Chains A and B, each alone.
Chain A
Amino acid sequence: MKTNDVILQTATKVVSLVIVLFSIRLFFSGHYYAGGGFVGGLMTSAAIVLIMVAYDMKTVRAMLPINYRILIGVGLLTAVSTGLIAVFQGDPFLTHYYGYFDLPILGKTSLHTAALFDLGVYLVVVGVTMTIIQSIGESE
């Protein structure tokens, strides 16, 4: 008998978007409130896992054609490069810089290189989680 999961799939379409938005919020609020790259990355992978449960691996791969192992590398590279900026500036490794900028729509915003480091963490967490789930899911 073919199972009918229309309700699950329809709900997923709405809920996964909410989860992704929440994970992005968590990621950006990390500096001033609870949150950050780690929990943001976990939340994003939770959204992807939900889609995997509701549909299947193939759909997800067609939707997000990402090689998650490469994503780990990209994340690590982002984090290291953030540290290396300081080396080229002549400061100790991983020194961070920040400033306040007037952006067109957002207005006065504080930008900090620690966010780039966090982006690296975020990518590594998504990459690692998805690699684990994908390789366990696909092994026979």
Chain B
Amino acid sequence: MNNMVIFPILLPFISGILLLFFRNLKVQKTFSVLSLSASTLLALYLIADVYTNGIRTLDVSNWAAPFGITIVADMLSSILVLTTNIIALCVVIYSFNSIGKEREKFYYYPVFQMLLIGVNGAFLTGDIFNLFVFFEVMLMSSYVLLVLGGTKIQLRETIKYILVNVISSALFVIAVAYLYSVVGTLNMAHLSERIAEIGQPGIITVIAVLFLIVFGLKGAVFPLFFWLPGSYYAAPAPVLALFGALLTKVGVYSITRTYTLMFYHDTDYTHTLLSWIAIATIIIGVIGAIAYWDIKKIVIYNIIIAVGVIVYGVSLFNEAGTNGAVLYLVHDMIIKAALFLLIGIMAKIAGTSDLRKMSGLIKEFPVVGWTFFVAAISLAGIPPLSGFAGKLLIVQGSIEAGDYFGTFIILGSSLIVLYSIMKVFINGFWGVPMKIENKQTKTVNMLLVPAMVLVAISLAFGLGLEKLLPYFSQATETLMNPDLYIDAVLKE
């Protein structure tokens, strides 16, 4: 019994409901910030608690483990919940000065909170059907956030986005139905135990691949990424930051969870497939990242690369690879949010997101420029910064596994990531200063604060990694030993 575990889900829920009643914008803003700060502190407490006491579980409604819904906070979930809340706090502060009155009046902040219920819930749940429900909560809020404002491009892209996600949700239900008919349980720990008993026959491998298709559609891996560039392009900057940082990562987390907790008995097939898909994802992302001259598009394709890198780390299924994947996942959530906020600022200053039409921004906005530079080299993984350790461990893992081709692709992709993001920096910030119409220095400074906070957190993450590593190794330990998770949930 530990109700603290469910409060990262309940807090945004309660504040989302209350925001439906209080339509005054000042109240909405203050309340959003208060609630998100409280969730952040709560997540910190949760991490400390899990670190000392091991995995914390809550049997909702007081029904014992396989029969009720269990909320499970292991170290990975707790870290991801903390990251989510920090990002959401920064994005909501960024929204104050950028999203505009029109959207704010139409339930922007309540829906924002609802999205967080979905994301936090997906990270914390220990039940596969409950995971589906939280996916839907997250997706429905994301539909609203994507279409809110009602411009032509938003309407068109939302249709595509909804269509793809409705299909993938239906597949999710079908996959759960298959799994339920084979093993007869929905609790993840119990599922894992029963799959281990029957030793993953062919049908379970088929279901594992079906889950890969479902989560791959959410997380945008190679053949299933087609919807992402267009849909994300339509969203306004803070919504884009939220989507880019959180939504695809929930898909990646679900792949990680299912492939390390349940479907790990036939790694020859499933994990080899996963690694090929991951490599193809990286290659596609790399091609997209160098092809475009639009700053939004470049960073959007960088999401796809990062998803590929993380999934590749998971597919290695060894200590170093998994640890690297977890580190890189957290790093990437923070840095992608920061980058989207920063390119939002760039687009606001220049009045366009076309790279060829902007130049010399550093003359007028030096702080924006150098913050972007730090974020850019952090993304590429230059040693003292946060992207380094994760990729290093993934490379170490892939060499241990003897997959030199994968190693080469990971290292090569870093180079191209650096090229693509430096292209933005060099063309956007250097060169002859462009004529900037209606310079809004004050607004830009207000927008810059949350972006700088995120970059600072990313810097601290890179520099203070020594201190954080025990937490991440605990997360990896649970992933590599499903028995720890099963014992904690089923209390054997």
Chain A residues with CB under 8 Å of chain B are 69-70, 72-73, 76-77, 80, 83-84, 86-87, 90-96
Contacts and interface: CB of A to CB of B under 8 A. Distances in A.
A76 B137 CA distance: 14
B10 A92 contact: no
Given A77-B18, A83-B10, A93-B58, 14 more contacts: A69-B20, A72-B20, A76-B17, A80-B10, A80-B14, A84-B10, A91-B1, A91-B62, A92-B59, A92-B61, A93-B60, A94-B60, A94-B61, A95-B61
A92 B58 CA distance: 7
B3, B6, B59, most chain A CB atoms within 10 A: B3
8 contacts: A69-B20, A70-B21, A83-B10, A86-B62, A91-B62, A92-B1, A92-B61, A92-B62
A73 B17 CA distance: 6
B21 A93 contact: no
Given A87-B3, A92-B61, A93-B60, A73 B20 contact: yes
B13 A80 contact: yes
Nearest to B6: A93
B350 to A, nearest CB: 37
A62 B59 CA distance: 46
B17 A92 contact: no
Contacts of A92: 1, 3, 58-62
A90 B21 CA distance: 29
Interface of B: 1, 3, 6, 10, 13-14, 17-18, 20-21, 58-62
Nearest to A92: B62
A139 to B, nearest CB: 12
A73 B62 CA distance: 26
B17 A95 contact: no
Contacts, number: 41
Main secondary structure of the interface of B (DSSP, over half): helix
A136 to B, nearest CB: 16
A77 B18 CA distance: 8
A128 to B, nearest CB: 12
A90 B62 CA distance: 11
Nearest to A88: B3
B59 A77 contact: no
Given A69-B20, A73-B17, A96 B61 contact: yes
A93 B20 contact: no
B14 A93 contact: no
A70 B13 CA distance: 16
Contacts of A90: 1
Contacts of A93: 3, 6, 10, 58, 60-61
A28 B58 CA distance: 30
Nearest to B16: A76
B20 A70 contact: yes
A121 B402 CA distance: 55
A58 to B, nearest CB: 24
Contacts of A94: 60-61
Nearest to B17: A76
A70, A77, A93, A96, most chain B CB atoms within 10 A: A93
Contacts of B61: 92-96
A87 B60 CA distance: 11
What are the 4 tightest A-B residue pairs by CB atom distance, in nearest-first order? A73-B20, A95-B62, A94-B61, A76-B17
Nearest to A69: B20
A80 B9 CA distance: 12
Given A92-B3, A94-B60, A80 B20 contact: no
A20 to B, nearest CB: 26
A49 B210 CA distance: 42
Contacts of B18: 77
Nearest to A73: B20
A117 to B, nearest CB: 10
Contact of A73 (B1, B10, B21, B58): B21
Nearest to B57: A92
Nearest to A78: B17
Contacts of B60: 92-94
